[in-house]
Amino acid sequence: MTTTASRVEPTHAPGPPLPSDSAPLRAVHTPNFPALLRRLGASLLVTTYQAGKLVMVRDEGDHLNTHFRAFPAPMGMALAGDRLAVGTRMQVWEFVDVPAVAARLEPPGRHDACFLPRSSHVTGNIQIHEMAWDAGGQLWAVNTRFSCLCTLDRSASFTPRWRPSFVSALEPTDRCHLNGLAMVDGRPRYVTALGETDAPGGWRANKAKGGVLIDVDSNEVIARGLSMPHSPRWHGGRLWVCESGAGTIGFVDLDTGKYEPVAEVPGFTRGVEFVGDLAFVGLSQVRESAIFSGIPITERLTAEQRTCGVCAIEVARGRVVGLLRFETAVQEVFAVALLPGRLYPDLINDDEKLLQNSFTVPDAALVDVPAALTGTADPTRGATG
C-alpha cells in the first residue's frame, strides 16, 4: 500500500453550529481510496459515538469528501434497500431514501440519495450496539445494557428476544458487554461478548482475554479467550470477527473454536463491511482509560502510533490496500457500512425547512398529485413539495 496521502474535503450541512470546543473534522487518505469506492459504486457511512457524528464518505474524483450529521452517541447502523436505521443514546431512528428530494439539494444534480427521517423509537439508554434487519423486515438490536438481543415494539421500550445462557436475569447492568451481531440467512446467528460473566460489569475484570463468540441457535460458546471481540460477520462461508483488543481481524474455525488472525492493523478494530474480497474495517485509537488499559494493542502501540479511521483489507492476502485516517475530532469508530448504488448521498436530520416541505405518499396516491409537485417526470414515483 502506498503511503502517499491526499487531503479529505470535509463538509457539513446548515444546522446547529458545532460546539465551540469541537475541533473541525479533518482526514487524509491513500490516493486509491476514492477509486475503490468508485469501482464498488458505493459511498461509506461511519458512526462515531465519541464525536457524536454520522460521517458520509463520498467520492470527489481525486479526493474524498467527508460530510457529517450530528447525533447523540450514534453507534449501530442497519441498511436494507432504501431503509437505514441508526441507533443513538436513547433512540433508534429510521430513515428512508427519497430520490426526488435528492434532486432538490445543492449543488443541483450532484446527490443521488437523500435519507429522510420516518420514525424514532425511544428505547431509553440501553446502550444499543450493532443492529440488523432480518429476512422479514424486523430490526434486531444488541441491547448491551440488558445483555440481550431485542426487537422494537410500539408498546414497550424494547422486546427481549434472546440472551446468553450464562446471564441469569434481565436487568440494566451490562453483565457481559454483549456487542456484535452476525446474521446468517436473514436471521441472528452469532454474537460477541467481552466476557462469559453474570455479575454487573463482570466482563471488566478479564477484558484482555475473556471475550467469547456465541452461537445464538444453540446458545453455546464456540470460541473463548478473545481480546475484546466485536463485529462478527458471516462471509464467504467463514465466520469472521474482529479481535479488537489485539487490533486484528480474522476468522474462527467452527470445528475447533480457534481464532485465526488474517490482518494486524494499527488500531482497535471494530465495525466491518465485506464486499467481495475486501473488508472495510473501522479503526479506533482508543483512549488511555481503565476500559482500554492492559489490552494487547495498547501494549503493542503507543497512543501516537494508533490510528483512527477506516482501512480496506484484501482478506485473501491479509493486506491493507487503502486507508482513510481521521486526523482530528474523531478518535473512535463504531460502525462502518457501504451504501451500494449511492455515490453521493445525504441524510437530513436537522434542516427543518426541508423537512417541513418534503412529503412522501403511497404510490397509489401519487396519481392524484400534479407532476410538477412530485419532483419527477414519473407521477408514480417521488415526493411532493
295 found inside a domain = yes
In Å, what is the CA distance from 355 to each residue of 65, 98, 128, 235, 289? 24, 12, 26, 38, 41
Q: Pull the grid cell for residue 55.
A: 460521517
Determine the Cα–Cα distance for residues 175 and 370; give it in Å rounded to an integer: 56
Burial 189-201 (b: 16+ CB within 10 A, else e): bbbbbbbbbeeee
Determine the Cα–Cα distance for residues 247 and 292; give it in Å rounded to an integer: 12
211 found inside a domain = yes
* Count of the separate structural domains present in the chain: 1
User: What is the chain's alpha carbon radius of gyration, rounded to the nearest angstrom?
Assistant: 21
pLDDT on residue 359: 80
Q: The domain that contains 241 carries what CATH number?
A: 2.120.10.30
283 found inside a domain = yes
363 found inside a domain = no
In Å, what is the CA distance from 203 to each residue of 167, 262, 305, 306? 12, 26, 27, 24
Domain holding 320, by residue range, is 6-350
79 found inside a domain = yes
pLDDT on residue 294: 83
pLDDT on residue 380: 33
Task: Describe the strand order of the beta sheet including 278-284 as a list of residue ranges.
Answer: 6-7, 27-29, 319-326, 309-314, 278-284, 268-275
Full DSSP string of 26-80: -EEE-TTHHHHHHHHTEEEEEEETTTTEEEEEEE-SSSEEEEEEE-SS---EEEE
Determine the Cα–Cα distance for residues 200 and 179; give it in Å rounded to an integer: 16
pLDDT on residue 373: 64
Determine the Cα–Cα distance for residues 135 and 82; give it in Å rounded to an integer: 15
Bridge partners, 143 (sequence order)? 128, 148
Q: Pull the grid cell for residue 232.
A: 462478527
Bridge partners, 263 (sequence order)? 249
382 found inside a domain = no
1 found inside a domain = no
Determine the Cα–Cα distance for residues 76 and 180; give it in Å rounded to an integer: 9
Determine the Cα–Cα distance for residues 197 and 195; give it in Å rounded to an integer: 5
One-letter amino acid identity for 66?
T
Is the preceding peptide bond at 345 cis, omega within 30 degrees of 0? no
Taking residue 273's Cβ as centre, other Cβ atoms within 10 Å add up to 24
Bridge partners, 346 (sequence order)? 114
157 found inside a domain = yes
Q: What is the pLDDT along the chain (385 residues), one digit of tens a residue?
A: 333 444 444 444 333 333 334 567 788 999 999 999 999 999 999 999 999 999 999 999 889 999 999 999 999 999 999 999 999 999 999 999 999 999 999 998 999 999 999 999 999 999 999 999 999 999 999 999 999 999 998 899 999 999 999 999 999 999 999 999 999 999 999 999 999 999 999 999 999 999 999 999 999 999 999 999 999 999 999 999 999 999 999 999 999 999 999 999 999 999 999 999 999 999 999 876 657 778 999 889 988 899 999 999 999 999 999 999 998 889 899 999 999 999 999 999 988 888 888 888 777 776 777 776 665 434 334 454 5
